Chain A
């Protein structure tokens, strides 16, 4: 059990046979430019980054590409299926991603319509099944539904990633009880994916016992993304330490911290 870890050096997490020290996974979207993307990711200390798959801009084939700024040899690219609303679109997108990148580890998300973009679970099950059959290692964005999470794990998904609040909403973790239930029952890593708005939200996710936190907008849409990237790094580390330390029990009444003996009268 993780709680037995006494040394920070041993506190790694593993997904699909790859180990990571950083428990912050960051998106690479919504930045002002690729320079800012690279600087924010560097400041976050993340070792895994999510990326999207899109048509090449044929009118400007020499335009700088993400790989030129965020080195796939240094960071584990996690291709996503953002914008996919059917299993078919998601599977097609990730087959292209596998060819472009040459790796099998992917983030599956099949989304409902705006304004909530809530995970479409029937579509997610269908896509996960097809992808696993095709040899992919699937980290899956999902509803905060313990039954759905269990089913995805049983199918062979390598990480369960329930939302904390709608994508890009920055509303923070709205569902600590359901996240806790999912964390408790899961044998694979559980990442809170979507909803984190600021550093304390990331810390809460880690204090609940998440393996890691995945976020994008909270850094990219901060007034100063580089500072927020540092804040998120510190928050995830703090939340992880607090979880390892084991918080004190909550109690309804006061319990003085100073001895009652020896008071002057």
Chain B
């Protein structure tokens, strides 16, 4: 890559967030509830963490995702 192409990159980055370690584009005005619905996940069976803070289930519909957010969505699996 040349110096010239590197210089043009940052100005065109689309808004994105990180979900379970993977970058994703961020549609405008998306809440945690919207995200769970888009993913097809049952909100009663998962827990959500945003920027290392728990998102209480009661606030899914009002918690808006911001560019650069880091989200974790977890559930219970078999373990000893």
Listed in ascending order, the chain A residues whose CB lies under 8 Å from chain B are: 27-31, 34, 37, 50-56, 58, 61-62, 65-67, 77, 79-80, 82, 92, 95-101, 167-168, 215-217, 220
Contact = CB atoms under 8 A, between A and B. Distances in A.
Interface in B1-51: 19-22, 39-41, 45-49
Given A31-B78, A61-B40, A80-B79, A97 B19 contact: no
A80 B74 CA distance: 13
A61 B39 contact: yes
Contacts of A80: 79-80
B47 A100 contact: yes
B54 interface: yes
Interface string B43-80: 00111110010111100000000000000111111111
Nearest to B41: A61
Nearest to A51: B76
Closest 7 CB pairs of A and B: A52-B79, A27-B80, A216-B80, A100-B47, A99-B47, A28-B78, A29-B78
B77 A52 contact: yes
A92 B77 contact: no
A99 B76 CA distance: 11
A216 B78 CA distance: 10
B69 to A, nearest CB: 16
Nearest to B49: A96
A92 B49 contact: yes
A20 B19 CA distance: 39
A50 B45 contact: no
A117 to B, nearest CB: 11
A30 B78 contact: yes
Contacts of B55: 99
A62 B80 contact: no
B73 A56 contact: yes
Given A99-B57, A100-B74, A29 B80 contact: yes
A100 B41 contact: no
Contact of B72 (A66, A82, A96): A96
A67 B45 contact: yes
B20 A55 contact: yes
B80 A30 contact: yes
Nearest to A101: B76
A26 B21 CA distance: 31
